[in-house]
Structure formats: C-alpha cells, structure tokens
Amino acid sequence: MTNDLISAIRKHANFSSEDAKIIEQHMLTRHYSKGDFFSAAGKVTREIGFVVSGVFRFYAIDETGQEVTYFFFKETDLFTELTSFHDEVACKGYLVAETEAEIRVITKDSWKILRETVKEWDFAMRRISQEGLLYNIKFHRRLIMQDALQSYRDFLRIYPTVAQRVEAQ
C-alpha cells in the first residue's frame, strides 16, 4: 500500500529509491470504521492522511447547527485540515470516515524530518496542495452557479462511486 502513496507523490516530483525508503519509514498505517474521526473542530491537526481505501468527508457546522459538507476524499487523495496542520491552530471542521477505511499517516514530526531529508519533498507537497486547491475552487464555483439538482448531478459525475459507497454503509 505504501507504493500507492509513493507513486502518487512521484507524479509531482522525482524521488530516488533512497528517498522512497525514507518516506516509507515515516508513515503509519491506520484503519478507520465508519464514523471515526481523523480530526475534529477545536483540536489541532498534527497528521496528514493518504487514503488507501475508503472515503472521508470534511464538514463544518453552520450557524444554524447544520452539517455543511465541503469535500470528500477517496483513494489516492492526501488530506488534512491544512491551516490547522501548518499553523497549529484549532480545526474549523471535521474529517470523518464515511466508510471502512485504510490510510497512511504522516505525523507533523515526520513531516519536519521529510522536509529536511528528502530534497523534493516541499516541491511535491506544494504541487499536490495547489492541484487540490484548484480542483476545489473549480468545483465550488460550479456549485454556487447551479441549482441543487444540477449540483447533485455534477457531484455524481465527479464522484461516481462515493454516493453509493457512503449510502451503502
């Protein structure tokens, strides 16, 4: 499963086999049941996850007390609450497993070591973050400009299996 993460990162930067070994040494494997939280509002996030299998959802609670879903993360996605992770401030929302899931985790301490020892680490992580940010900006722009039915159809087109997998459990 680690090879999936290394392959995903290698799409953004060239890592030597020695770099790959260092990265692998700094990853943990975790299993989540549906409903388990990766991070929660009010707590500082000190880990980044890579989805090997399963689906995670990021949501926040609005002023009326309703859950507002912002993102889904599925296989080969890196995820965390970035502001909390980088600035060490409390999360504004929740990252929860919506299905049984397996992830690879990199802790904040390991992140610091990888930044110091793997030459292309920062470059690859910036590229991955930029790619994800651009995708989410485009996705949210479409949602704002559309009615609910069209937004739902786009969601099903973009995430064809997520709705089925989340509802099935």
21 φ, ψ (degrees, to nearest 5): -65, -40
Give the model confidence (pLDDT) of 81-128 as tens digits. 988 998 999 999 999 999 999 999 999 999 999 999 998 888 888 887
Q: What is the DSSP letter of 26?
A: T
Question: What's the pLDDT score for residue 110?
Answer: 95
- Model confidence, pTM: 0.77
Question: What's the pLDDT score for residue 39?
Answer: 96
Give the model confidence (pLDDT) of 9-42 as tens digits. 777 788 888 998 999 999 999 999 999 999 999 9
pLDDT at 80 over 60: yes
Place of tokens 């397996």: 102
